[in-house]
């Protein structure tokens, strides 16, 4: 188990006298007068005129096609709440590091000092020509639904709110495999959520796309069960999951459930609540940094359970780092207009399949173990597994082409071979 102190974290962010975690470096030589003339005036006029003639040539002559904006207004930073745009910058820089490390995607982090969702939309739309994709981050619910939807309607590049869909895609992969291990199907399970914000609703939406009947999903938030006719803390995206016509507690709703999914707060689930679930329960307690029920407590209370958390120091980490770099890699390389449902589902299935493959020795070494094997303690691949890029980005690219949102047709077998080379050399 790895513990990081506050002092260690602060020192990391100012290590060697260089503040922050990202920088910009040139990708072309700039050593001579000729180089300078090509990079700037007069040479730069040539691509300007070509892009004016055909805007799609921006993908050929600029970094647009490999550049993502990571955008936040800081209204919902991790589990820290509304800390403002500037305080979100370390997180957005962190996303940039992960994009670059795992998928070789360049990032500009954009912190926007407004809590007005319409102003945020206007800012992002105005700067969108710079980028091949937009990753929205740490924007509070329910405004995040509106912001994402409006930008998707306005722009012809992928707009992806990772707090929603990233978690949902990894959860989908983990649940595909957990159901296989326990002999269940999506169509028969009853699922209970603790939490009804952006991530929970996106996860529920992903489960419906994978085959869970919407009527089999129940959500609880601070006010208890989300039920029909409830007035408190409701908005349209949550209304879809209103069940029943009277209040109930999380403990009451969990009785007899097959699956518990936590995207809420620490220690809201007791051992007794797990003991009232069905045999072989699936317990995904993903609140960070502390889950809804501690991993060890959950396993002790229900030895027959499959347990996952959002933490890297326990088995079955459900974490969006397994998603966004590779989803954007596939979307950018096909010049997709959007990241659609087909691409999200393809990502979930690709991760689920990869977990069943033998794990390479270098990955075992990276995690300090001599064995990782598909089963109750290994539902999804590890983030440091270099094969994730090939499997997931390749699946996303295939889905983009098949679903008609790709503007660039690839030789997909050749593309996946290229991804494998990228993974080996990262």
pLDDT-based confidence at residue 87 (cuts at 50, 70, 90): very high
The neighbour count for residue 296, using CB atoms within 10 Å, is: 10
pLDDT for the residue 200: 95
Q: What is the dihedral of CA 253, 145, 133, 340, to 10 degrees?
A: 60
Q: What is the mean pLDDT of residues 209-236?
A: 96
Q: What is the mean pLDDT of residues 313-337?
A: 95
Tokens of 45: 């006029």
Q: What is the distance between the alpha carbons of residues 313 and 290, in angstroms, rounded to a whole number?
A: 12
Work out the angle between the directed axes of helices 341-354 and 324-333 (0-180°, nearest 10).
120
pLDDT-based confidence at residue 2 (cuts at 50, 70, 90): low
Whether residue 215 has pLDDT greater than 80 = yes
pLDDT-based confidence at residue 18 (cuts at 50, 70, 90): confident
Whether residue 56 has pLDDT greater than 90 = yes
Work out the angle between the directed axes of helices 162-182 and 324-333 (0-180°, nearest 10).
110
Instruction: Kindly list the catalytic residues.
Output: 40, 95
Tokens of 256: 């007899």
pLDDT-based confidence at residue 1 (cuts at 50, 70, 90): low
pLDDT for the residue 335: 97
Compute φ and ψ for 385, nearest 5 degrees.
Answer: -75, 115
Whether residue 426 has pLDDT greater than 70 = no
Question: For the segment 229-277, what is each residue's pLDDT rounded down to a tens digit?
Answer: 999 999 999 999 999 999 999 999 999 999 999 999 999 999 999 999 9
Q: What is the mean pLDDT of residues 132-153?
A: 97
* Token pair 């999380």: residue: 250
Q: What is the mean pLDDT of residues 309-329?
A: 93
Q: Specify the CATH class of 165-309 in words.
A: alpha beta
Q: What is the mean pLDDT of residues 224-232?
A: 95
Instruction: Judge whether 178 and 379 are in contact, CB under 8 Å.
Output: yes
Domain ranges (residues) in the chain: 6-157, 165-309, 323-425
Helix (H) or strand (E) holding 145: helix 143-154
Whether residue 55 has pLDDT greater than 60 = yes
pLDDT for the residue 40: 94
More confident residue, 152 or 12: 152
Selected from 3.30.420.40, 3.40.50.1000, 3.40.50.10380, 3.40.50.2000, the CATH number assigned to the domain covering 6-157 reads 3.40.50.10380
Q: What is the distance between the alpha carbons of residues 384 and 49, in angstroms, rounded to a whole number?
A: 43
Strand-pair category, 217-221 with 224-225: antiparallel
Q: What is the distance between the alpha carbons of residues 210 and 187, in angstroms, rounded to a whole number?
A: 9
Q: What is the mean pLDDT of residues 276-300?
A: 95
Question: For the segment 183-205, what is each residue's pLDDT rounded down to a tens digit?
Answer: 999 999 999 999 999 999 999 99
Q: What is the dihedral of CA 217, 222, 226, 230, to 10 degrees?
A: 180
* Domain 6-157 and domain 323-425 have a common topology: yes
Q: What is the mean pLDDT of residues 275-281?
A: 97
List residues bridging with 77 in a β-sheet.
81
Residue 278 is classified by DSSP as P
pLDDT for the residue 116: 98
Give me the chain's average pLDDT, please. Answer: 95
Helix (H) or strand (E) holding 34: helix 33-39
DSSP string covering 165-217: HHHHHHHHHHHHHHHHHHT--TTT--EEEE--SHHHHHHHHHHHHHT--GGGE
List residues bridging with 422 in a β-sheet.
none
Residue 81 is classified by DSSP as B
Whether residue 22 has pLDDT greater than 90 = no
CATH number of 323-425: 3.40.50.720
């Amino acid at each position: 188990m790895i513990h990081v102190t506050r002092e260690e974290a602060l020192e990391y962010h100012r290590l060697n006298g260089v503040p922050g975690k990202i920088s910009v470096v040139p990708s072309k030589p700039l050593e001579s007068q000729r180089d300078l003339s090509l990079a700037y005036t007069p040479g730069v006029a040539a691509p300007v005129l070509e892009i004016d003639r055909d805007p799609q040539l921006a993908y050929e002559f600029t970094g647009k096609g490999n550049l993502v904006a990571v955008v936040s207004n800081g209204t919902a930073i991790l589990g820290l709440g509304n800390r403002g745009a500037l305080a979100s910058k370390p997180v957005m820089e962190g996303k940039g590091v992960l994009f670059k490390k795992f998928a070789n995607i360049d990032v500009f982090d954009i912190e926007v000092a407004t809590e007005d969702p319409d102003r945020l939309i206007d800012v992002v739309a105005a700067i969108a020509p710079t980028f091949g994709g937009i990753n929205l981050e740490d924007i509070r619910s329910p405004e995040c639904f509106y912001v994402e939807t409006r930008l998707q309607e306005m722009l012809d590049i992928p707009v992806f709110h990772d707090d929603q869909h990233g978690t949902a895609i990894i959860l989908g992969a983990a649940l595909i495999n957990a159901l296989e291990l326990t002999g269940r199907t999506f169509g028969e399970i009853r699922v209970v959520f603790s939490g009804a914000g952006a991530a929970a609703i996106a996860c529920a939406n992903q489960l419906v796309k994978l085959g869970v009947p919407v009527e089999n999903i129940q959500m609880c938030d601070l006010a208890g069960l989300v039920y029909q006719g409830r007035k408190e803390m409701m908005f349209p995206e949550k209304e879809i999951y209103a069940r029943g016509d009277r209040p109930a507690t999380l403990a009451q709703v969990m009785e007899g459930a097959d699956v518990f999914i936590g995207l809420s707060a620490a220690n809201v689930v007791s051992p007794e609540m797990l003991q009232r679930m069905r045999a072989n329960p699936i317990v995904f307690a993903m609140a960070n940094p502390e889950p809804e029920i501690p991993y060890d407590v959950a396993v002790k209370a229900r030895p027959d359970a499959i347990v996952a958390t959002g933490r890297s120091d326990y088995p079955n980490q459900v974490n969006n780092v397994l998603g966004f770099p590779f989803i954007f890699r596939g979307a950018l390389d096909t010049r997709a207009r959007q990241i659609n449902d087909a691409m999200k589902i393809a990502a979930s299935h690709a991760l689920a399949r990869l977990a069943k493959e033998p794990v390479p020795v270098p990955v075992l070494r990276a995690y300090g173990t001599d064995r990782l094997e598909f089963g109750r303690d290994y539902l999804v691949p590890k983030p440091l597994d270099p094969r994730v890029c090939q499997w997931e980005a390749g699946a996303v690219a295939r889905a983009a082409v098949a679903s008609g949102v790709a503007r660039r047709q690839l030789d997909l077998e050749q593309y996946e071979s290229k991804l494998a080379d990228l993974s080996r050399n990262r």
